[in-house]
C-alpha cells in the first residue's frame, strides 16, 4: 500500500514539475515575441520618421534652390538636365533646344536683355569623385546662348565651354545642368598667360579685346584662348570683379595681365629677346628651330637713314661646323618672321649681312624682329645690328664716277669683259683678260669670272639664279622645295611669300574698323563688301553700328563714309 502511494506521489510531483516548466517556457516565448514586436514597431516608426525628415529636407532644399534660382535669375526659374554635344564655334555661346526658348519666353527672359547660363557637370555613379578633380575642373562655368536649334534633350557646347567644363578623358556625352542666371557687368579682370610671349604681341590688349568680343561671360578659373595668326595663347582667369562670374557684353573692363610662371615646360621658340643697336648677342639654334630677337629704330635714327647718310647693317656670324643658318627680318606687326613670311632674308652659307637703306620702302621708324633659323644641325652664332655711316662710301662713289666721266672721252670697250679701258692700255688689258678671265654665257648673266672661279659658277635650271656649286643643295631646298601653307595650299618659296602676303585667308591684316591685327579670312559674303575690297573679318566688324558725329544716327561703320557724303555732303 505504501509503495503504491509513494509512486503516485512521485508521479504527481513529476507532472506538476513538467507543467511548471512548460508554463515558464511559454512565458519566455511570449516575452520574446513581445520584445520582437516592440522592436519591429520601433523600426517602422523610425523608418517613417526618417522618410518624413527626408521629405521635409528635400522640400526645404527644393524651396532653397527655387529661392536661389529666383534670386540668381532675377525672378526667372529655368533648370534643365541636358546631354552635352560638342559643336563648332568661337566664344562661349551655346546651342539650346527649341523647348528652352518657349519656356524662357513664357517667363519673359527675352525682355530682360542678354541671357546667361550656369553650366555644371552632373557627376554620375562610376565617375571620378569630385575630390580627385581640381577646383577649376570640377565642371562649372558660364555661357551665353547663340541659338535654339539643338536637338531636344541635348545642348551644343563650343570648344571654349567644353574645355573649361570637362577634364581630359571625359566621356563623350555627359549630362550637364543648365541653369538660367543673372550676371553683373564686369569691371576688372586679372589674367595670366600659361606661357611667355603674349606680352610681346603688338598691342596685345587690343588683340585680347577682339577675342573677348566673341564671349558673353567670364568665370574665375576659366582658360581663355587667344589666337594671333598661327599662334595660340591660353590665359587663365585669376580674378574678376565685382563677382567670380561676370558679363563682358557692353561694358568696359580694366584688364591686368600678370607674368606667367617661367618653367622649362612653357618656354618655347616664340619669344622675342631684346637686341640693342650697336651691341651683339650670341647663342645657339637647333635644326628646324627659330631664335627671335627684336630691335627698334627711333625717329632720330630714322632721320639719319632717310637722309641717305646712314644705313642699317644686320650681321649674322655663324660657326660652320656641320651646321648652317638662315636669316629673316620682319617689321612689326609681323613679330615672328618665318621661312615664307618676312620682309628681308639671307640664305648665304656661313656668315650673312643684310644692309637696309632708305631706298627700301618697307624700312621706317618702328620695331623689327630678327629670326635666326637653324637650317642644318646645331649652330653657334653671333648677331648684331649697327647703324653704318655712308659718307665715305658716297664720296668714293662720286670720285670714281667723276674720274670715269673724265676718262670716258679716251676709252675703248674690252672685247672679252666688255669694260671700258683707257685706249693707251687696251691692247695689254685684252691680252691679259682673255688669258685669265671668262664671261658667263648664261642668258642675262654676263658676269666676268676668273678662270678658276668659273668652274664653281653655275645657274639654277629652274629659276636661273647664279651661285657657287656648294650652294646648289641649299638653294634647291630653300627656294624650290614645296611648302605647305596652313590654309592647305602647296607652293614654292617665292610663290608662298606672295600668297601669304596678299591672298592667304590666314594672313594678318590691320582691320580698318577696329584697328586690330586679325586674320583676313576668305572673301566677304556680301557682294558689295567684296567690291569695296573688304575682307571677311572687315565685313563682319564693319557691320557694327556707331553714332554719326554730325547727326547722331546709328550707322554701320562700313557705311559711315557713304553716310557722311550722302547726308552731310562731307567729302
CATH number at residue 311: 2.60.120.380
Judge whether 62 lies within some domain. Answer: no
pLDDT given for residue 97 in this prediction: 93
Cβ atoms of 154 and 97 within 8 Å: the answer is yes
Judge whether 474 lies within some domain. Answer: no
Question: Which range, of 323-327, 353-357, 401-405, averages the lowest pLDDT?
Answer: 401-405
Rounded to whole angstroms, the Cα distance separating 487 from 52 reads: 65
Let me know whether 302 and 336 are in one domain: yes
Judge whether 433 lies within some domain. Answer: no
Q: What is the CATH number of the domain that holds 85?
A: 2.40.40.50
Rounded to whole angstroms, the Cα distance separating 298 from 140 reads: 49
C-alpha cell recorded at residue 60 = 526645404
What pairing do the DSSP bridges indicate for beta strands 272-274 and 290-297? parallel
pLDDT given for residue 102 in this prediction: 92
The 8-class DSSP code of residue 409 comes to G
Let me know whether 251 and 281 are in one domain: no
Judge whether 40 lies within some domain. Answer: no
**Angle at CA 181, nearest 5°, toward 176 and 183?**
125
Cβ atoms of 146 and 90 within 8 Å: the answer is no
Judge whether 43 lies within some domain. Answer: no
Domain enclosing residue 521, as ranges: 517-568
pLDDT given for residue 1 in this prediction: 62
pLDDT given for residue 404 in this prediction: 41
What pTM did the predictor assign? Answer: 0.61
Q: What is the mean pLDDT of residues 474-493?
A: 82
C-alpha cell recorded at residue 17 = 514539475
Let me know whether 100 and 153 are in one domain: yes
Q: How many domains does the chain have?
A: 4
Let me know whether 84 and 175 are in one domain: yes
- E runs forming strands in 259-333: 272-274, 280-285, 290-297, 310-318, 324-331
21 or 265: which carries more pLDDT confidence? 21
Rounded to whole angstroms, the Cα distance separating 452 from 337 reads: 38
Let me know whether 285 and 385 are in one domain: yes
pLDDT above 80 for 214: yes
What pairing do the DSSP bridges indicate for beta strands 254-257 and 188-193? parallel
Judge whether 458 lies within some domain. Answer: no
Question: Which range, of 15-19, 108-112, 265-269, 275-279, averages the lowest pLDDT?
Answer: 265-269
Rounded to whole angstroms, the Cα distance separating 163 from 273 reads: 32
Let me know whether 245 and 293 are in one domain: no
Let me know whether 371 and 329 are in one domain: yes
Judge whether 221 lies within some domain. Answer: yes
Let me know whether 166 and 205 are in one domain: no
How do residues 352-362 score in pLDDT, each as one tens digit?
Answer: 899 998 888 88
Judge whether 108 lies within some domain. Answer: yes
Burial class, 317, CB count within 10 angstroms (exposed 0-12 / middle 13-18 / buried 19+) = middle
Let me know whether 155 and 246 are in one domain: no
Let me know whether 177 and 193 are in one domain: no
Let me know whether 246 and 339 are in one domain: no
Q: What is the mean pLDDT of residues 276-280?
A: 89
Domain boundary among 389, 413, 434: 389
Amino acid at each position: 500500500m505504501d509503495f503504491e502511494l509513494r509512486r503516485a506521489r512521485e508521479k504527481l510531483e513529476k507532472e506538476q514539475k513538467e507543467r511548471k516548466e512548460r508554463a515558464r517556457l511559454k512565458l519566455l516565448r511570449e516575452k520574446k515575441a513581445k520584445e520582437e514586436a516592440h522592436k519591429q514597431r520601433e523600426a517602422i516608426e523610425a523608418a517613417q520618421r526618417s522618410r518624413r525628415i527626408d521629405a521635409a529636407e528635400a522640400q526645404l532644399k527644393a524651396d532653397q534652390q527655387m529661392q536661389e534660382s529666383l534670386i540668381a535669375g532675377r525672378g526667372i526659374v529655368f533648370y534643365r538636365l541636358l546631354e552635352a554635344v560638342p559643336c563648332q564655334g568661337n566664344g562661349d555661346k551655346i546651342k539650346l533646344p527649341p523647348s528652352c526658348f518657349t519656356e524662357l519666353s513664357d517667363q519673359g527672359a527675352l525682355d530682360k536683355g542678354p541671357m546667361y547660363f550656369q553650366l555644371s557637370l552632373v557627376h554620375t555613379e562610376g565617375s571620378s569623385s569630385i575630390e580627385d578633380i581640381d577646383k577649376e575642373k570640377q565642371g562649372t562655368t558660364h555661357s551665353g546662348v547663340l541659338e535654339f536649334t539643338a536637338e531636344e534633350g541635348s545642348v551644343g557646347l563650343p570648344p571654349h565651354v567644353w574645355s573649361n567644363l570637362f577634364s581630359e578623358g571625359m566621356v563623350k556625352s555627359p549630362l550637364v545642368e543648365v541653369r538660367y542666371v543673372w550676371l553683373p557687368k564686369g569691371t576688372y579682370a586679372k589674367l595670366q598667360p600659361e606661357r611667355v610671349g603674349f606680352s610681346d604681341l603688338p598691342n596685345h590688349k587690343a588683340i585680347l579685346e577682339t577675342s573677348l568680343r566673341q564671349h558673353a561671360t567670364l568665370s574665375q578659373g576659366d582658360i581663355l584662348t587667344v589666337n594671333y595668326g598661327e599662334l595660340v595663347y591660353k590665359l587663365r582667369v585669376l580674378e574678376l570683379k565685382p563677382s567670380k562670374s561676370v558679363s563682358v557684353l557692353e561694358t568696359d573692363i580694366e584688364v591686368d595681365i600678370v607674368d606667367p610662371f617661367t618653367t622649362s615646360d612653357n618656354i618655347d621658340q616664340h619669344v622675342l629677346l631684346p637686341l640693342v643697336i650697336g651691341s651683339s648677342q650670341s647663342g645657339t639654334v637647333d635644326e628646324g628651330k627659330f631664335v627671335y630677337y627684336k630691335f627698334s629704330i627711333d625717329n632720330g635714327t630714322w632721320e639719319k637713314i632717310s637722309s641717305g647718310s646712314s644705313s642699317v647693317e644686320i650681321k649674322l656670324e655663324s660657326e660652320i661646323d656641320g651646321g648652317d643658318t638662315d636669316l629673316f627680318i620682319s617689321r612689326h606687326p609681323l613679330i615672328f618672321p618665318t621661312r615664307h613670311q618676312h620682309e628681308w632674308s639671307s640664305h648665304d652659307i656661313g656668315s650673312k649681312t643684310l644692309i637696309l637703306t632708305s631706298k627700301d620702302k618697307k624700312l621706317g621708324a618702328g620695331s623689327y624682329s630678327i629670326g635666326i633659323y637653324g637650317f642644318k644641325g646645331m649652330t653657334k652664332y653671333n648677331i648684331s645690328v649697327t647703324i653704318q655711316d655712308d659718307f665715305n662710301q658716297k664720296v668714293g662713289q662720286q670720285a670714281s664716277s667723276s674720274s670715269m666721266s673724265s676718262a670716258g672721252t679716251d676709252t675703248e670697250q674690252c672685247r672679252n669683259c666688255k669694260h671700258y679701258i683707257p685706249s693707251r692700255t687696251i691692247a695689254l688689258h685684252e691680252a691679259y683678260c682673255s688669258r685669265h678671265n671668262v664671261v658667263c654665257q648664261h642668258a642675262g648673266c654676263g658676269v666676268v669670272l676668273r678662270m678658276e672661279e668659273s668652274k664653281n659658277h653655275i645657274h639654277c635650271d629652274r629659276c636661273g639664279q647664279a651661285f657657287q656649286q656648294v650652294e646648289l643643295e641649299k638653294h634647291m631646298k630653300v627656294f624650290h622645295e614645296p611648302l605647305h601653307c596652313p590654309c592647305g595650299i602647296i607652293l614654292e618659296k617665292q610663290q608662298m611669300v606672295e600668297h601669304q602676303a596678299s591672298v592667304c585667308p590666314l594672313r594678318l591684316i590691320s582691320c580698318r574698323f577696329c584697328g586690330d591685327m586679325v586674320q583676313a579670312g576668305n572673301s566677304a559674303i556680301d557682294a558689295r563688301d567684296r567690291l569695296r575690297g573688304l575682307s571677311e573679318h572687315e565685313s563682319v566688324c564693319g557691320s557694327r553700328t556707331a553714332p554719326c558725329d554730325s547727326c547722331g544716327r546709328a550707322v554701320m561703320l562700313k557705311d559711315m563714309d557713304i553716310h557722311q557724303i550722302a547726308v552731310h555732303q562731307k567729302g
